[in-house]
Structure 1
Amino acid sequence: MESSPIYGLLMILFIASGIIGLMAIAYVIYRAVKFWKERQVRLRASSDPELEPIASTV
């Protein structure tokens, strides 16, 4: 079986799509963690009366 340029091109496209997919998954996880941390701060501020001025600025 001879290796044609098409197989090389398909391999490059497959690897590139895998890398892009991993980057997209990492970005979604990063955004979810950032949102969760902001939500935790907001919940803590709303439950603690001393932090009420901070909660109003967020």
Structure 2
Amino acid sequence: MTDQHDEQADPRAQWRQLPPAPTELIEETEVNTGATDHGLPAIDLTQEFVRKYGL
């Protein structure tokens, strides 16, 4: 019965075979970027408020 089943197997089902397991594990880490990473100058919030709205 298995011979008959192999003959009637769908040739399109070949993609169902899994690829081999990876040989090494690569760990991914999240990197949080901020304004300092892009070269923007630091802003003094008090000075910025006085510049916009006055005292």
TM over 0.5: no
Greater RCO, 1 or 2 (C-alpha within 8 Å, sep 6+): 1
Q: TM-score, normalised by structure 1?
A: 0.22
Q: TM-score, normalised by structure 2?
A: 0.23
Computing the radius of gyration from Cα coordinates, the structure with the larger value is 2
Name whichever structure is richer in helix by fraction: 1
